[in-house]
Amino acid sequence: RDITFLSKDGGYSSDGLLHFDMKNDLVIYHHFYTNHIYALDTNLNLRYKASTIDTNKTFKTKGALCQSSYTLSSPPIAVNKTSCVDNGTLYINSMIVAENENPDALEKNDVIDMYDLRTGNYQGSFYIPLIKNSKVKQLAIEDTLLLIRYTNNIVLYNLSK
């Protein structure tokens, strides 16, 4: 099954991050601008397509032809930012306030959503505090240690506590 699609936006609508989950031998891809998650085997055959808990199912802006290249007609709405995988779990830095969240919470925190990579099912979320009003730029995790890179800081969190 084909997981690609044609769109006249220069590829923006399919922009995202690619990871490899060693525990399940899966290639994982998630979009920045939609709630799509794809899991592929090591031959790049689609194993499943899942969705994040965010409700943006489609790319929310249009492409426009400008002379001989494509550009966006308006800035895209980011659904997900950065992510990482470890031990069968996908961790995604969500950019959208969930219905059950207080919008004020995202003024002081970033949200990390967790997904089981065997099934694509949502496992839960946790907050990471902003450091000096700087949001998460990149994250990495191994076992219970979560490494967060901010604009000017790096912080290590122990998730077992």
Q: pTM surpassing 0.85? A: no
pLDDT tens-digit readout, 100-139: 677 777 778 888 999 999 999 999 989 888 888 888 999 9
pLDDT tens-digit readout, 59-85: 455 555 566 666 666 656 666 788 999
The pLDDT value given to residue 77:
65
pLDDT band per the 50, 70, 90 thresholds, residue 14: low
Average pLDDT over residues 20-31: 91
The pLDDT value given to residue 24:
92
pLDDT tens-digit readout, 82-100: 899 999 999 999 877 766 6
| Integer CA distances (angstroms), 56 to 76, 96, 120, 160, in order | 11, 9, 17, 32
